[in-house]
A and B are shown apart, each in its own frame.
Chain A
Amino acid sequence: MSHAVTEAPGQPARPQGKPALSEGKKAERKLGLLLCAPAALVMLAVTGYPIIYSIWLSLQRYDLRFPDERQFVGLDNYVAVLSNSYWWTAFGTTMFITVVSVAIELVLGMALALIMHRTLVGRGLVRTVTLIPYGIVTVVAAFSWFYAWTPETGYLANALAGDGAPLTEQWPSLWIIILAEVWKTTPFMALLLMAGLALVPDDLLKAASVDGANAWQRFSKVMVPVMKPAILVALLFRTLDAFRVFDNIFVLTNGANDTGSVSMQTYNNLIKGLNLGIGSAMAVLIFVTVALIAFIFIKVFGTAAPGSDQGSKR
């Protein structure tokens, strides 16, 4: 038998590091699956069904204004959306808002987290104050930004914009949208990062001090690498969230001057335009993009998917 080492055909090689499960582990896994089943069924009903249904809708020509013309068209809707420059403009805008706001949030969130982690006096107060923006309903906050930037009456417009109306121009609008997003969600980022900071043992930082590291080196060479998993999870959460930006844009500019996001586009087609086919295709595209972002984070950066079992790897 010269080919004794080759695998039997059709049987893929077992990936390394995943040895066969013992009997006990198998039984445990089975029990685990059984216990998860009710929740999984509910999940399927409330998320699986709508997803399948919108995929189904996206494959049809279906405009509520012309319900009689409903017809299965395959991928025509996708072709229509993907060959449309409005969609790509919205996509670019969304990406820009996502990347810039998440980057700013990461830096500010880390600073806030460090402050909250290190504060010795009035810790509770500091945390509460920090979390206030996150506690305010986005639409309410968005309206206060809107009024603040309205010429003549808004204090920010008066103070910073001079005679102009920033919310009627593309770039100022985008920055104001980013500002509103950052103001609102930095606390959330800070909270996630603070949980990560708590995972860095004090002894490690002490060891770095005696090893000769200054404050910045302790932060960049010890703290950040050790809390990298927490940072990636925080980034993943915020990126997925930011990509679906809607309320701030809806209130601040309503998508005028090319400031609309993909979610705005979807809303305009689906709810305003009553075009279920095109709207659903857009919704599915957003879903795919979001899934892709999550995939990249988990596979490329090695982010531990929230809830994934790390314990059994040891």
Chain B
Amino acid sequence: MAEIVLDKVTKRYPDGALAVSEMEIEIADGEFVILVGPSGCGKSTALNMIAGLEDISSGELRIDGSRANEKAPKDRDIAMVFQSYALYPHMSVRENMAFPLRLAKVADATVRSKVEEAAEILDLTQHLDRKPSNLSGGQRQRVAMGRAIVRSPKAFLMDEPLSNLDAKLRGQMRTSVSKLQRQLGTTTVYVTHDQTEAMTLGDRVVVLRGGIVQQIGSPQFLYDHPANLFVAGFIGSPSMNFVPATLEDGTLKSPLGTIPLTDRVRRLAEAADAPREVVAGIRPEHFEDAALLDDAHRHGGVSFSATVDVLESMGAEKYAYFSLEEDLATTAELEELAADAGAGDVPGGGSAVVARLAASSEAREGSPLDVWFDPDRIQLFDPAKGTNLTYSA
């Protein structure tokens, strides 16, 4: 088990592409850290540098306090799980899992017992003598995990290990990966583009974009206190709604109506020296159908009325999509964000406001609906720089 430190680690590929820029992370012994970000943001590159599969252009990588930049992968005692699983097709499951031990010249009896122990944990015992090509996706994934755990390495590196599984299996495997990591207590760096995996798995999440670390923190902290527009939009599903707004006499004029600023928001915005034009962000789950609330509760917040374009009922909850009269906030920052997040697979594209309503809501498509929200939940962002003006640690 080990502590891994990335000290201003930078990767520039020979063709000039800057994949990772001055990455600064300290991963404690036994910690489960997630690197998350859209495709192409440098997650795999970062992981490959930790594994030694890519050279580090500048900066220092320290494993257990000693510089590891120049160490060969085989001397780092780190195991890796790939998205493609990278199982050796000519070897049986048993031989695949035993491969790292055999290379380390471990005695036969020990190899057998370790492989069988790992197979037991991963429920692979009855598949030990089969070839990878005859296994299902989930089984292959478990073999890949098995090959990593038999060695009891200093750390696990996982590069989108669940991305090739179907949604249901992915959910199950997510739980078992989490359990396994807790059980073994091995330092783990896990790469994913899926914010749900990031939120559910890690002790800490590192949000990456374009090779630059945006924010590091616990999943809940990133959700509550995103440092900028990108993190705010990336973490949470469905994403946070963004609307353009103007700060005027202690109120916020926006397509959602004139919203009074709460003391907390006003203080933070003043401290951050907020410009007049801002982007207001509010999460879908912070909206509610006004009809469902009692009067006292209602008066504590703000309501606006809008026509429901699309209503999705998920059983336990409903998602209502509105389009507002005025255009939604578009800044260069937001457009890039939408492109990164792959907007367009959401009904109404990136231009609708989404509200999560209780299942008992009687909202109907095409009918107007009174929507309520708590103005204290609003976050304000600088439209030019993207920074969170209401950020408080």
* Contact of B89 with A by CB under 8 A: yes
* Contact of B125 with A by CB under 8 A: no
Whether A226 contacts B99 by the Cβ 8 Å rule is no
Q: How far does the Cβ of A27 sit from chain B's closest Cβ, in whole Å?
A: 28
Residues of A within 8 A of B52 (CB): 209-210
B residues 61-99 touching A (CB-CB < 8 Å): 72-74, 76, 78-80, 82, 84, 86, 88-90, 99
Whether B78 contacts A222 by the Cβ 8 Å rule is no
- Give the size range of B's interface with the partner: 20 to 34
Whether A204 contacts B86 by the Cβ 8 Å rule is yes
* Contact of A225 with B by CB under 8 A: yes
Residues of A within 8 A of B53 (CB): 206, 209-210
Give A314 to B86 CA distance when docked, in angstroms.
19
Residues of B within 8 A of A212 (CB): 74, 100, 103-104
Closest residue of chain B to A217, judged by CB?
A: B103
Q: How many residues of A contact B (CB 8 A)?
A: 20
Q: Which of B14, B80, B88, B100 contacts A206 (CB 8 A)?
A: B80
A residues 196-253 touching B (CB-CB < 8 Å): 201, 203-204, 206-214, 217, 221-222, 225-226, 228
Q: Which of B48, B78, B79, B88 contacts A204 (CB 8 A)?
A: B88
* Contact of B206 with A by CB under 8 A: no
Residues of A within 8 A of B100 (CB): 211-212
Q: Which of B51, B74, B79, B133 contacts A213 (CB 8 A)?
A: B74
Give A208 to B275 CA distance when docked, in angstroms.
54
Residues of A within 8 A of B104 (CB): 212
Q: Which 6 A-B pairs have the closest CB atoms?
A: A207-B86, A203-B86, A211-B100, A225-B90, A212-B103, A209-B73
B residues with CB within 8 A of A: 14, 48, 51-53, 72-74, 76, 78-80, 82, 84, 86, 88-90, 99-100, 103-104, 133, 147, 157
29 sampled A-B residue pairs with Cβ under 8 A:
A203-B82, A203-B84, A206-B51, A206-B80, A206-B86, A207-B80, A207-B82, A207-B88, A208-B99, A209-B51, A209-B53, A209-B73, A210-B51, A210-B76, A210-B80, A210-B157, A211-B74, A211-B99, A211-B103, A212-B74, A212-B103, A213-B74, A213-B103, A217-B103, A225-B90, A226-B88, A226-B90, A228-B90, A314-B133
